[in-house]
Structure 1
Amino acid sequence: MPVLQFTPQSSLVQPGFWNELTRLKIDILKLSDQSIPISGSYTPGRWIIDRESGNEIALNGSLSLSAESFDLQIKPPQHSVPAFGTLKNYNTIEEFKAANKAELFNEVTQDIWNATTKTNDPNQLSRFLLLTFADLKKYKYYYWFAFPAFVVKPAWEIDESGWMDSNTKIGHEGLLSIWQALQNVSIPLPYFLIRPSSKSPFEIGKLEDFSSFFANVPEDQRIVSFVDPSASPQNPGWPLRNLLTYLRAQFPDSTRKLQVICWRDVEVPTSGKPWRSRFGIVAIDPSSNMTSECPTAVGWEKNAQGKLGPRLADLGGMMDPTRLADQAVDLNLKLMRWRILPDLNLEKISNTKCLLLGAGTLGCYVSRVLMAWGVRKITLLDSSRVSFSNPVRQPLFDFEDCLNGGKPKAECAAEHMKKIFPGVDASGISLSIPMPGHPVPVGSVNQVKEDVKRLEKLVDEHDAIFLLMDSRESRWLPTVLGAAKGKIVINAALGFDSYLVMRHGARSSLVPQGTARLGCYYCNDIVAPADVSMMVIFKQGLAVVIASKSLTDRTLDQMCTVTRPGLASIAAASAVELLTSLLQHPLGLHAPPPTPQQNEPPQAPTGESVLGLAPHQLRGYLGQFRNMLITGAAYDRCTGCSDLVLNAYEREGFDMLLQAFNEVGYLERLTGLDKLYNEAEDTLEAVHWDEDDDDDL
């Protein structure tokens, strides 16, 4: 008789499977290459009509994997039967290529053999192996399936009549009774038994119940069946190989000759169409016996070129580019967590909503670094427009933005951020920040009140506030709002070749007991911010303040912050890194600064933040390529963060702010600095100055 030939099993991996593997790799597996269980399903072979020729085309059923394949409890789709397997994902293409595939294949083969001879579990007969390498940056997936099937010697043979139309042997009523019985099974059966029944032509049973189900059934009336993924008229599908081995191993005395139905009917055929299932009688040499050792097996799937080798699924072209960019940003950060900082809480950083006051040089660089950290919500606020001097220093603008008077800076910067990374929720707002010492005209009070209300709302809606403006007094109102609302406030300011980056401390009522309160940008000042710039010099041990106009009547060289070109990017990056270090500290806003001993390398410990220290102030000197970590205590008469100012703001609201804007000296009177200033003046008047010293001054 002819040797039994089989149609090899094929695979079909849906894009959802690769998406789920990507998520699993990034969030759970990380660098692990441990084997994980998965499930798939396959359907019987099917036939479709060619629209052009009208002829039928046979299509084999493939083993299908989907996004649900990682959940072993999910039921297979309608008309499908389950198959279980093992996935092993490698971290590099080199590891994937160098994997000991024979060893892995033999492990799965042994599992099938154990189910065949020891555990009597037919569900394991269709086990498969899947090796993968996921190139997550390019959305390319290399994979190779194996469907281990035993090689039995001598081989099974098919009766001389071959595979025939099942209707010829079983009849329409018999096939209909089998089909109806299969519909009543709660869990689809990949393999099942068939016997005559007194109630209907046939009834079905489970494969593992072979002995009891066929106890009183003559051998010539026993039928074994399986869901056949093959559509070939003469070659049954791959699952039959292991089914026959299972029967020979479990029931050697009654399985030398078997009646087999290759079940291929998912629905009852309509009038004039045939049943698709095939019937055949297979036999094996009666003298052959199964040994206790696991037989050899075959089953590696061939690639698209018909050779033994892996396949490639390239989903980059069909994926939404925005989603690709979003996942790529996360991947770069998660690689850092996998390899270096397993305790890094990236979600806390990405979920932090940041408000940037100032969209100039500092604002542009801060935005870029925040996006690199995966921050998704960034709002920029600025009142100026892009000028021709900006693009070379401010990386979110180009020449076209300067034309026709220039685009509004905040909106333009947000637009460019979305072009760089579409996944960022960036918005720009044109708004002037009212400042103390800059009186509000009567006709503009309502507009300023609305501007303040809008700024208050923005502060409420964000978690971290960056002060990136180019004047001292413009930082006052955000300092007050940030302190009053308990927000993280990060301040950055530039000199010619030096910079200051600092975090503001919390208000006194929020500081944990026993913890020193850290100062804000104004805590070292002895006068309130106003439309003046101050220079403090020391004369015979006493501080002398020289004041001039800060924003009005400035000359051209005073209109811009004149700094070394590389300074802003250093300060901006330091400001963002200070924020991320603070967010990773268990105390967050209340994280203590490093002690003086911690400031000096190499003894500097990592501190309680997984990213290292969370200093109060960082003062950098580019001329010396040197940084200093400074801790400044809060001042109880500070015009920005003291309780005197915050309580007045919370009590009087906009009226208090308007008074600060309009009245020179108001903040000094409110905090008591006026008395301190008068005492200093009295002291200076009591000092005798030599004329020579005056000339030097």
Structure 2
Amino acid sequence: MPILQFAPFSSVVSPAFWHKLTDLKIDVLRLDDAPVGISGSYGPGRSVHDRETGQDIVMNASFSVDGESFAGGADTAAGQHGATRTVYATGSFKNFNTIEEFKNADKNKLFNDEAQEIWQSIVASRSAKQLTRFFLISYADLKKYKYYYWFAFPAFVSKPAWEIEADGWKNVRTVFSADQLASIDGQVHADRQFFVVSKQGKVGAIEEYEAFFASVPAHERIVGFIDPSADPVNPGWPLRNLLAYLRALYPAHTTSVQVLRWRDLTSSQLGTVSLPAPLPSTTTDRPSAVGWERNPQGKLGARVADLAPMMDPTRLAAQAVDLNLKLMRWRILPALDLEKVSGARCLLLGAGTLGCYVARSLMGWGVRTITLVDSSRVSFSNPVRQPLFEFEDCLDGGKPKAECAAERLKKIYPGINATGHTLSIPMPGHPISPTNPTALAEAKASVRKLEELVESHDAVFLLMDSRESRWLPTVLGASRGKIVINAALGFDTFLVMRHGVRARDVKEGGRRLGCYYCNDIVAPSDSLTDRTLDQMCTVTRPGLAPIAAATAVELLTSILQHPEGNHASPPAPNSDLHPTQSYAEQGESVLGVVPHQIRGFLAQFRNLNLVGDGFGRCTGCSEAVLEAYEKDGFGMLLEAFNDQGYLERLSGLDELAKEGEAALEAVEWDEEADDF
């Protein structure tokens, strides 16, 4: 009789599987190459009748894995799909960390371990659930989006080989009636990929073999399986392990087996397979196994999936831009909460040198919402110092800086939510005449827009080039409880600081930190009128701005990583951390300390961490100023813009000045002069 041959599985991997593996590798597996559970699926084979040739075209079912394959086992997947013909198989997946490890792995051992798992489920548990167990090894080149992989479907080798009887495979319609076939069809589903069948069309699980056939002669017993092969001669690969299962558990009754290859009501087949005599003595030793899948060239070897050509470049960028951050988390800082950073909505007031560098650094940290505000246009002196602008942006009077910078961010990474607003911020010392309705309306609109922007963002960066332009955002940020980061440049010095929370929000036992204006004893005033050329441009060493900008962004990320957020206590000035303790053990952010002020000195290549307490008579963050704004709104702001002495009277600075004068007058000075 002819030797029974089997149609091997052909694997199909959905691109969603590789996308899921990419996320899993970066977020979960990291350097762990231990095998993990996985599931795959296949269905019954089918044939299609070609009307032109009059022949049936065989279409074997593929074994597929997809994005859901990592979600759970075969039982979970099958349960979600109900009584379908889709068979869900469990397996294991091992991803290697380097291509060399993938190539040099002991594949024989890996394969034999999987085969042993199947054999143990047969002889120890008498279970058929592992008969279609599979194995997948891979190496994922996440930078190039290439995935090297190799499937194995372990199947036991029968010695001697099974033979198919001379009459071969018969159509089931010659054996069962239409009603019996309908009954079988209603009872075959994913939970019964291997089953037993009676002549009357009753179906049971293969594990019920002995009880099901208790009074049935051996020659009338039928075993069935959902067959992924539509080949009329060669049954599908799962039959190999089904026959091994029967021989291991029921050797006395399975030298000859009737097999039902179930596909559908019309194309399913029935045949008898048998083992030639004499048979070897029964043993529980595991037979040898085969099952590594051949590649498209017909050789035993790995395949490669190159997703880069078929992927949307925007999606490629989306997966790649955060790679460094995710590697940082799983290699160095497992506690790093990247979602807190990426979800932070950042408002940049100023789109000049500092604004451009801050925006780029924020993108590097994964921030996805960046809004820029500026009132000026790109000039010819800008592109060499401000990295978001090019020469073409300067032509025809220059593009609006904020909108131009936002568009350039989108060109760098299309997934960024970047917007720009041309807006002039009203300032103290720059009067707005109540009798000029146009100017008044413009100021109201600007204030309203700025209030909306501050309200809708989590962090506000003050990156302007004048002192008084920072006052209104300071008030708005303090009133709404936002994180406010201030950066200012000198020639070779810089200041980066976070504004403290307002007085009423300071936690019990906490320390109120000052804002940009807390060291001032006078209100901000006009510093822009009649400036000379060198005063109109921020004259700094070229390397200073990127250093200050990067420091400002790093300060924000440290705040976001600290459990207390902007309430985090600053370290003592220039203090050192204990060398044997982690940052978290010392109550700091996982990124380290969260300073109040950083003053940098480029000439000395030195930074100082300083702490400044909040000032009860500050013109920017004192309760008197904030409460007046919250009560009177634009009316209060208009007075601050128009009346130089208003903020000093409101905050109490004028009284402080009087107290100082009175103290000086009370001092008895020695008026005796030396004789010369």
Q: TM-score range by the shorter chain?
A: over 0.9
| Preserved contact between residue 213 and residue 221 of structure 2 (Cα < 8 Å) | yes
Match of 2:559 in 1: 582
Q: 1:277 to 1:228 in 2, by over 3 A?
A: same
Q: Which amino acid aligns with 1:195?
A: S
Determine if the alignment matches structure 1 residue 178 to structure 2 residue 184: no
Q: Which residue of 2 is the match for residue 546 of structure 1? A: none
Residue 153 of structure 1 corresponds to 159
**Pairwise CA distance, 1:276:** 4.7
- Per the alignment, residue 594 of structure 1 pairs with 571
CA contact (8 A) 1:38 1:84 kept: yes
- Structure 2: where are the runs of 5+ without partners? none
Q: Which of 599, 616, 619 matches 1:619?
A: 599
Q: Would the aligned equivalents of 1:41 and 1:83 in 2 still touch at CA under 8 Å?
A: yes
Q: Secondary structure at the match of 1:122?
A: coil
Per-residue deviation, 1:472: 0.3
Counterparts of 2:444 and 2:632, CA distance in 1: 13
Look up the equivalent residue of 1:31 and give its one-letter code: L
Counting only pairs closer than 5 Å after superposition, residues 425-444 of structure 1 correspond to structure 2 as 425-441=417-433, 442-443=436-437, 444=439
How far off is 1:290 after superposition?
3.3
Q: Which residue in 1 is equivalent to 2:541?
A: 564
TM-score by length of 2: 0.93
Q: Are the counterparts in 2 of residues 178 and 203 from structure 1 also a CA contact under 8 Å? A: no
The question of whether the paired residues in 1 share the 8 Å contact of 2:138 and 2:147 is answered with yes
Aligned: 1:502 with 2:497: yes
- Report the more deviating stretch, 27-36 or 680-689: 680-689
**Whole-angstrom CA distance in 1 between matches of 2:581 and 2:383:** 39
- Give me the TM-score of the superposition, normalised by structure 1: 0.90
Cα distance in 1, alignment partners of residues 117 and 199 from structure 2: 34
Give the SS at the match of 1:419. helix
Q: Is 1:573 aligned to residue 550 of structure 2?
A: yes
Task: Look up the match of 1:469.
Answer: 464
Query: CA 1:605/1:81 → structure 2, altered by over 3 Å: closer, same or farther?
Result: closer
Gaps in structure 1 of 5+ consecutive residues: 270-274, 532-549, 691-697
Query: What letter is aligned with 1:577?
Result: E
The answer to whether the Cα contact below 8 Å between 2:461 and 2:485 also exists between their aligned partners in 1 is yes
Matching of residue 638 in structure 1 with residue 633 in structure 2: no
- Distance apart, 1:68 and its partner CA: 2.3
Q: Distance in 2 between matches of 1:149 and 1:138?
A: 34
- In structure 2, C-alpha distance between the alignment counterparts of 1:281 and 1:186, rounded to whole Å: 24
What is the letter of the counterpart of residue 639 of structure 1?
A: T
Does structure 1 retain, via aligned residues, the 8 Å contact 2:373–2:422?
A: yes
Task: Tell me whether 1:518 sits opposite 2:495 in the alignment.
Answer: no
Task: Give the letter for the 2:291 counterpart.
Answer: G
- Aligned partner letter, 2:316: L
Change (3 A) 1:464 1:92: same
In 2, Cα distance between equivalents of 1:239 and 1:639: 80
Q: Could you tell me how far apart the structure 2 residues matched to 1:3 and 1:610 are?
A: 66
DSSP 3-state at the match of 1:371? helix
Matched, 1:552 2:529: yes
- The AA in structure 1 aligned to 2:523 is A
CA apart distance, 1:599? 4.8
Q: Which deviates the most, 386-395 or 603-612?
A: 603-612
Q: CA 1:50 to 1:377, structure 2 compared with 1: closer, same or farther past 3 Å? A: farther
1:282 aligned to 2:282?
no
Greater alpha carbon shift after TM alignment, 188-197 vs 26-35: 26-35
1:7-52 superposed Cα distances (whole Å, 9 cap, x missing partner): 1122111122222222333333233222221211112222235688
What is the total number of aligned residue pairs between the two structures?
Answer: 659
Secondary structure in 1 matching 2:575: helix
Task: Quote the Cα distance in structure 1 between the aligned partners of 2:52 and 2:355.
Answer: 63
Cα pair distance change 1:54/1:635, threshold 3 Å: farther
Please tell me whether the aligned partners of residues 227 and 263 of structure 1 are also in contact (alpha carbons under 8 angstroms): yes
- 2:304 matched to 1:312? yes
Q: In structure 2, the residue corresponding to 1:141 is in which secondary structure?
A: strand
Query: Which residue of 2 is the match for residue 527 of structure 1?
Result: 522
Amino acid aligned to 1:74: A
CA contact 2:574–2:608 (8 Å) conserved in 1 = no
What is the Cα deviation at residue 286 of structure 1? 4.2
- Mapped to 2, the partners of 1:392 and 1:183 lie a distance apart of 75
Moved more, 473-482 or 25-34: 25-34
Check conservation: 2:195, 2:204, Cα contact below 8 A: yes
The one-letter code matched in structure 1 to 2:593 is L
| Conserved? CA contact 2:88–2:190, under 8 Å | no
Structure 1 pair 617–51 and aligned structure 2 pair: CA distance change class (3 A): farther
- Identical residues among aligned pairs (%): 61
Question: Contact (CA 8 Å) 1:354, 1:462: kept in 2 or not?
Answer: yes
Residue 59 in structure 1 maps to residue 59 in structure 2: yes
Provide the residue aligned with 2:226 in structure 1.
227
Contact 2:227 2:238 in 1 (8 A): yes
Superposed CA offset, 1:647-685 (max 9, x none): 111122111110000011111111222243356568889
Question: 1:180-259 to 2 correspondence within 5 Å?
Answer: 180-185=183-188, 187-197=190-200, 202-259=201-258
For the 8 Å contact 1:150–1:297, the answer to whether it is kept is yes
Q: Distance between the aligned counterparts of 1:662 and 1:38, measured in 2?
A: 70
